[in-house]
Amino acid sequence: MSKRTLLVLRTLLILAIAAILTFIYYHSTRVGNSSAYFSQAATSKINQILSFLHMDGVFSEGAVRKMAHFGEYWLLGFLTCALFLTFPKMHTFWSICLPLVGGISAAGLDEWIQRYTPGRNGQVMDVILDGFGVCLGIFVALFFFFLVTNAKNQDFHKRI
């Protein structure tokens, strides 16, 4: 990959990480009524889609909130790991540990913000769920990295 392509890729990944963090923290600062309205609307839309597809089952608002938490942090873990993997001299250990620590720290800050937002409460279980999301995102990024490096006959094991 050329230096210019790497620079563009890294820039796009940094912008995507900034966007997901902005999204996460924006929703953390929404007061309880506003957040509940948004969650209820999303839950209703998901259940309408399931009904249209003739799929049995109804999601609760709580389940939708937990899936949103997990999904946001899955994406954060994936993007941050992908960013660190673009540095070929960086050991893969750091491409795992830095996104993991950063993602869990972001989750802790997210819940801390919610704790001081009217009508909201921060929960340790959400930090744990978010941490699992980060872990899965990192795993998926590593899986794709492994596929790409093996497809290009590059030695993945030099980085491990």
- pLDDT tens, 58-99? 788 888 888 988 999 999 999 999 999 999 888 889 999 999
Q: How far is CA 76 from CA 16, 89, 147, in A?
A: 9, 22, 20
Predicted local distance difference test score (pLDDT) of residue 107: 97
Give the chain's mean pLDDT.
Answer: 89
Mean pLDDT value of segment 99-123:
93
pLDDT at residue 116 tops 60: yes
DSSP for 36-51?
HHHHHHHHHHHHHHHH
Q: Do 84 and 94 contact (CB within 8 A), yes or no?
A: yes
Cβ-based neighbours of 158, under 8 Å, separated by 6 or more: none
CB-based contact 38:30 (threshold 8 Å) = yes
Q: At what angle do helices 92-115 and 3-28 cross, to 10 degrees?
A: 20
152 pLDDT above the threshold of 90: no
- Choice between 117 and 104, residue whose per-residue pLDDT is larger: 104
Domain boundaries, given as residue ranges, for the chain: 3-33+64-158
